Every structure is written in structure tokens, then in C-alpha cells.
Amino acid sequence: TSRRQRQMCIRDSAMSQELRIGVGGMSCASCVSRVEQAIARQPGVESATVNLAAENALVRFEQADVPQLLAAVRNAGYEPVVESLTLGVGGMTCASCVARVERAIKALPGVLWATVNLSTESAAVEYLPDSLSRERIVKAVRDAGYEAETGEAAPDDGRARQERELALLKRDLLLAGALTLPLVLISMSPMVLPGAEGLMHRLLPKLVWRWLELVLATPVLLWAGRRFLIHGWSELRHFAPGMNSLVMIGSSAAYLYSLLVLVLPGLFPEGTANLYFEAAAVIVTLILLGRYLESLAKGRTSEAIRQLMRLQSKEARVFRQNREITIPVEEVVPGDVILVRPGERIPCLLYTSDAAD
């Protein structure tokens, strides 16, 4: 019986989840009891233990709505501790990357919501600091195969990061193009230009030309195209294949097949020992060109968004206690009456009653 009870306890603990919620405004044992009762009444909650000294609540539940738990704390007259974080995220190239980063962040316990913006290369996260640290959020993004910058980024940090990425893309594209062009000429000239093969063989033996193709293709794949290998492997490792893994598989297959043909030609039937180094290099070069053009367009879009954000008013004129006062826009709360004169910018978003709730 005792063994069965222990097994049931282990099974129940494996099914349960724990969450720490910071609670502000408590001052006595009565506050502790009030918060515990408010949380314990919520559906799916197994237990709630409030620590007055640490100002947090340890909640154990099987399945519960975390925003509903926070609302219960507020309704009890106390304020749950919630923090916001903005991360710079590098390495994203498409909507699939955005979804992958969002899933990685939202899977963390204590995350209330997360949204990722491809244009600004950033992620906005709201989370419970008593359950989750900023370092763990950053680690989750990096484990998903992307770069993450800690701390609150300044408005110009995004522009600097994009300029840095654009410069790297341009450098890799120039290197790939400079090596791919002669590689294509070496491999394709005998097929399209009469007499080119004989001229090449008079200059150098056929085997030397084949090894020269390897020499030209290797830097294109392993250096200029290293971003595809790194991110592609990360995507496959997390069972989430994307564009990077597709480029990695296509270019690597052509390169490795050609390398085997060059080193061990006897493994292949007669007439099939052909080199495809130029295919691997062309794949990498064309994708780099597309990424460079995409980065240029994204940079212009991001700059337009930043200019729009600069138009936002930093102060708001509100009507409180029968008088007009000017406050920072961050201090505007739902229910405030905002005064906007003709020609002025609206300082904040408008909320409906449902959104405010």
C-alpha cells in the first residue's frame, strides 16, 4: 500500500506544475490569507502558499489560466509583479523563424505573452520575474538557433544591428560571387563553348581543373555560406526544418557527392562520376543575393517604422480631479480622459472597455 501511495504521489507531482507569482501590497498575515484564498478558488489550482517575507505566492496546479490567477490577485486588492522585456533577435529570415522564436519563449513557465517582430528583429515579452529570469528567456532564444541580445535595446541598436548584418551579407556575397563565377566558367565552358575543353586541357591537365573546382567551391560553402550550415543544423536538431536547412542539405549534398567522386572515383559506375561543385556554389551565392536584397528592403521598412515611432507624443494632457495636468505618456491608465487639441498628436492608443478589462 505504501509503495502504491508513493507511486501515486510521484505521478501526481509529475502531472502538477508550479508557478511563483510576485505579490505586492501585502503587510500582514491577513493579507497572506486573503491572497491564498483568492488563488485557491481558481479552477485547476491544487494549492497556493503565500510567503509574506518573500512577497510571492507558490501556486501548484494541473491546468490553470495564468492571467486568471493574476486577475484573482488584483481582485483581492493586491498587485501581481509582472515585468516586460525587449530582446534583440538576430538570424531570423522568414515567418517560420518568427513562429519558432515565439514558440520557444511561450513554452517557458511564467511567460504571459510574447510577440516577435521580423522587421525590427526584436521580441517583446511579458513574464513573471519570480518564476522566470531574463537570462533563461535569452537562453531559450539561443537554444532555438537564433541570436539574442540582453538588456533593453536603445532605439538605434536595431539600426546598428541591421547595418552590421547587411555589411556581413555584402562581404559574404562578394566573396561567393568572386569564386562562383570562375567555378561556373570552368565547369560549364566545355559544354557550351566549342573547343573550350581542348584549350583547357592544353593549359592544365583535366585532374588539375577538377581539384581547382574543389578549391573554389570550399570557401563558398564553408565560409560565405556558413550561416546556412549553422542555422540549418540548429533547425534540424530541433526538428523544425526551414529554409536554412533546405539550403544546407541541397548545397552539402552536391558538394559531398562531388568530393567523393574526386577522391574515390572507383566507387561510382562508369559515366556517373561527375562533379557538381558549381551547383553547391551557385545555390549558396543565389540565396545570399536574395538575403542581401531582403535585408536592404527590411532595413528601409524598419527605418520607416522607427520614424513613425518618433512621431509618438512623449506627454499626455489628462483631466484628473477636475483639473488639467500633463504627465508622461507611460503614466496614462485606462479610464483617463485625454485632452487633444486641434493639430496635436494622439499620445496613446484608445482602449475599449473590453480591452481595458
- Under DSSP, is residue 77 helix (H, G, I), strand (E, B) or coil? coil
List Cα–Cα distances, 176 to 147, 217, 281, 289, in angstroms.
24, 9, 7, 10
Q: Is residue 169 a contact partner of residue 288, using CB atoms and an 8 Å limit?
A: yes
Cα gap 239→60, rounded to integer Å: 31
334 burial class (0-12, 13-18, 19+ CB within 10 angstroms)?
A: exposed
Cα gap 111→106, rounded to integer Å: 6
Find how far residue 217's CA is from the centre of its chain.
31
- pLDDT in tens for each of the 357 residues of the chain? 445 544 444 444 445 788 899 898 887 888 888 899 999 888 888 888 998 888 889 999 887 788 888 888 888 888 888 988 888 888 888 888 888 899 999 999 889 989 998 877 889 999 999 888 888 999 999 888 888 876 554 445 566 777 888 899 999 999 999 999 999 999 999 888 888 888 888 899 989 999 999 999 999 999 999 989 988 887 788 777 888 899 999 999 999 999 999 999 888 888 888 999 999 999 999 999 999 998 888 777 767 766 776 677 778 888 887 888 888 877 777 778 888 888 777 776 554 444 334
Cα gap 228→158, rounded to integer Å: 22
First vs last Cα of the chain: how many Å apart? Answer: 50
Instruction: Please tell me the predicted confidence (pLDDT) of residue 8.
Output: 44
Cα gap 43→112, rounded to integer Å: 18
Q: Give the H or E element holding residue 188.
A: helix 155-192
Instruction: Please tell me the predicted confidence (pLDDT) of residue 172.
Output: 95
Instruction: Please tell me the predicted confidence (pLDDT) of residue 272.
Output: 83
